[in-house]
Amino acid sequence: MALFGALFLALLAGAHAEFPGCKIRVTSKALELVKQEGLRFLEQELETITIPDLRGKEGHFYYNISEVKVTELQLTSSELDFQPQQELMLQITNASLGLRFRRQLLYWFFYDGGYINASAEGVSIRTGLELSRDPAGRMKVSNVSCQASVSRMHAAFGGTFKKVYDFLSTFITSGMRFLLNQQICPVLYHTGTVLLNALLDTVPVRSSVDELVGIDYSLVKDPVASTSNLDMDFRGAFFPLTERNWSLPNRAVEPQLQEEERMVYVAFSEFFFDSAMESYFRAGALQLSLVGDKVPHDLDILLRATYFGSIVLLSPAVIDSPLKLELRVLAPPRCTIKPSGTTVSVTASVTIALVPPDKPEVQLSSMTMDARLSAKMALRGKALRTQLDLRRFRIYSNHSALESLALIPLQAPLKTMLQIGVMPMLNERTWRGVQIPLPEGINFVREVVTNHAGFLTIGADLHFAKGLREVIEKNRPADIGASTAPPPSTAAV
């Protein structure tokens, strides 16, 4: 009985599992670029280390070491890797720190003071970032583990009491080494949980695409790391801004990412594009009305000649009234992705009428249009752009086959009108694109689009258009003090 209960719960969980409409994979190829940019930022953060004053006495000697500042940092050897449990692990070995501090020594009635340059060598740091999904669906650094050690320190003491300092140097530098160890991990913890999270806050989760629709890029589960990549599953669903709680059920094929040759891969399922088109349909955007001078002149003449008999029979008095051509999509368009290409199928009504001033319009004909568009996707910067092209076009009457035959002469002019008048307007909007969930300052370059059965993938490399320091400083949160205090330091002495 327990077995059947467990099976039922597993099936129930599977039934409620949400497939992603968009996936992103960051491969190990990107880590070298990320490490170079990250280390530049980390060096600047570690140079802000504040070391407490060191005071004490040894016999009749009283000493005070104060105003300790990091003057330089050299990270000679480092590795950044994915780890299945920790997500991202940074290891720094054999680094060195340059220090400058003020010395004060009192021996009986004799006083000596001044500034000293010192160095900390054999600095080792091992820190791991644990990534997770927060309640809003945003990726966050949820935990930072840290181990840090300084193997040796050297201070060039001089002055009146040089021999005394040489006697006390081992004691003083050991104390400074201990204090330095205790300060490295808190800086790394603050960098991960506050500053890197400020960077991740620039990734859009639910945002407006334009004045009609928005997009939901919330994570559907925690990021998953292997030894060679980091995978993130996003909902990837559009929605009308007037119906923010509306959602299209995702019945599309789940995108699959297998490649690892480029720095990053992005996959989009048919659901991603279907939700966009249905959102615009529900927002009332998929309709077009051309009246009077807006109707191409040649088409206006052809339509009046075609329906001249109907005009005379219905209302000859309005024969010179402006012509109206209205296109209205009847159902949400659907996207089909195959290895051979991507197509969009559209069914719309075409209504032809005369619009006399201050009188009800006179409908001349109503027909149905089936169109198939080819779609080419491209990634520019961090925007997914689409170029549409009208491939197949057919009009027919819902009333009779005879009327459908009569519409054949209109097919070529209407197709030309769509290609010249409608497609440029569509492409002007689709080429603006929609932003991909990337942090501010990072763009895609050298992208390659590959079609599969039910989804497409885009492989690309990454480019830092802005430095991490610039982006983080722009989005740095106010100092929240104790609320971001790290756990007890695990620094090794």
DSSP one-letter string for 70-112: EEEEE--EEEEEEETTTEEEEEEEEEEEEEEEEEEEEETTEEE
**Size (the chain), residues:** 493
Question: Do residues 35 and 180 both lie within one domain?
Answer: yes
Question: Do residues 323 and 432 both lie within one domain?
Answer: yes
Residue 493 has pLDDT above 90, yes or no: no
End position of a domain, from candidates 181, 201, 221:
201
- Helix H or strand E encompassing 411: helix 408-417
Of 39-48, 223-232, 376-385, give the lowest mean pLDDT range.
39-48
Contacts of 142-147 spanning 24+ positions with Cβ under 8 A: 143/193, 144/188, 144/189, 144/192, 144/193, 144/486, 145/86, 145/490, 146/184, 146/185, 146/188, 146/189, 146/486, 146/489, 146/490, 146/491, 147/185, 147/490, 147/491, 147/492
What whole-number distance in Å separates Cα of residue 165 and Cα of residue 157? Answer: 6
Angle of the 468-475 helix axis to the 31-46 helix axis, nearest 10: 60
Q: Determine, yes or no, domain membership for 409.
A: yes
Of 124-138, 317-331, 376-390, give the lowest mean pLDDT range.
317-331
End position of a domain, from candidates 201, 229, 264:
201
Instruction: Please tell me the total count of domains within the chain.
Output: 2
User: Looking at this protein, which amino acid is placed at residue 213?
Assistant: V
Q: Which residue has the tokens 């999904």?
A: 133
Residue 383 has which token pair?
């925007």
Q: Between these two residues, 224 and 398, which has the higher pLDDT value?
A: 224
Three-state DSSP at 281 gives helix
Three-state DSSP at 60 gives coil
Q: What is the mean pLDDT of the segment spanning 134-158?
A: 83
Q: What is the mean pLDDT of the segment spanning 323-352?
A: 91
- Do 307 and 363 form a contact (C-beta atoms < 8 A)? no
Question: Do residues 67 and 164 both lie within one domain?
Answer: yes
Handedness of CA 23, 27, 33, 36 (dihedral sign): positive
pTM of the entire predicted model: 0.83
Three-state DSSP at 324 gives strand
- Quick one: pLDDT at residue 475? 80
Question: Do residues 172 and 297 both lie within one domain?
Answer: no
Handedness of CA 23, 28, 32, 35 (dihedral sign): positive
What whole-number distance in Å separates Cα of residue 272 and Cα of residue 213? Answer: 13
Q: Determine, yes or no, domain membership for 35.
A: yes
- Helix H or strand E encompassing 182: helix 162-190
Q: What is the mean pLDDT of the segment spanning 168-182?
A: 69
Residue 58 has pLDDT above 80, yes or no: no
Question: Do residues 67 and 187 both lie within one domain?
Answer: yes
Of 141-145, 180-184, 277-281, give the lowest mean pLDDT range.
180-184
Q: Determine, yes or no, domain membership for 467.
A: no
- Do 140 and 197 form a contact (C-beta atoms < 8 A)? yes
User: Looking at this protein, which amino acid is placed at residue 492?
Assistant: A
Three-state DSSP at 50 gives coil
Question: Do residues 325 and 419 both lie within one domain?
Answer: yes
Q: What is the mean pLDDT of the segment spanning 208-222?
A: 92
Question: Do residues 188 and 336 both lie within one domain?
Answer: no
Q: Which residues of 274-308 are buried (b: 16+ CB within 10 A; e: fewer)?
A: bbbbbbbbbbebbebebeeeebbeebbebbbebbe
- Quick one: pLDDT at residue 483? 42
- Quick one: pLDDT at residue 312? 65
What whole-number distance in Å separates Cα of residue 273 and Cα of residue 386? Answer: 10
- Helix H or strand E encompassing 347: strand 341-354
Q: What is the mean pLDDT of the segment spanning 192-201?
A: 89
- Do 371 and 346 form a contact (C-beta atoms < 8 A)? yes
Domain holding 49: CATH number? Answer: 3.15.10.10
Residue 177 has pLDDT above 60, yes or no: yes
Q: Between these two residues, 159 and 360, which has the higher pLDDT value?
A: 360
- Quick one: pLDDT at residue 11? 40
Residue 491 has pLDDT above 60, yes or no: no
Q: What is the mean pLDDT of the segment spanning 115-139?
A: 87
Using CA atoms, how far residue 16 sits from 10, 206, 260, in Å, is 10, 21, 30
Q: Determine, yes or no, domain membership for 490.
A: no
Q: Between these two residues, 430 and 292, which has the higher pLDDT value?
A: 430
Q: Determine, yes or no, domain membership for 158.
A: yes
How many C-beta atoms lie closer than 10 Å to residue 203's C-beta?
20
Q: What is the mean pLDDT of the segment spanning 152-168?
A: 63
**Chain centroid offset of residue 299 CA:** 45
Question: Do residues 197 and 308 both lie within one domain?
Answer: no
- Quick one: pLDDT at residue 300? 77
Which tens digit of pLDDT belongs to each residue from 252-302? 889 989 888 899 999 999 999 999 999 999 998 888 888 877 877 777 777
Q: Determine, yes or no, domain membership for 86.
A: yes
Tell me the β-bridge partners of 389.
374
Domain holding 406: CATH number? Answer: 3.15.20.10
Question: Do residues 187 and 296 both lie within one domain?
Answer: no
Q: Determine, yes or no, domain membership for 302.
A: yes
Residue 33: which domain range?
28-201
End position of a domain, from candidates 437, 453, 472:
437
Q: Determine, yes or no, domain membership for 185.
A: yes
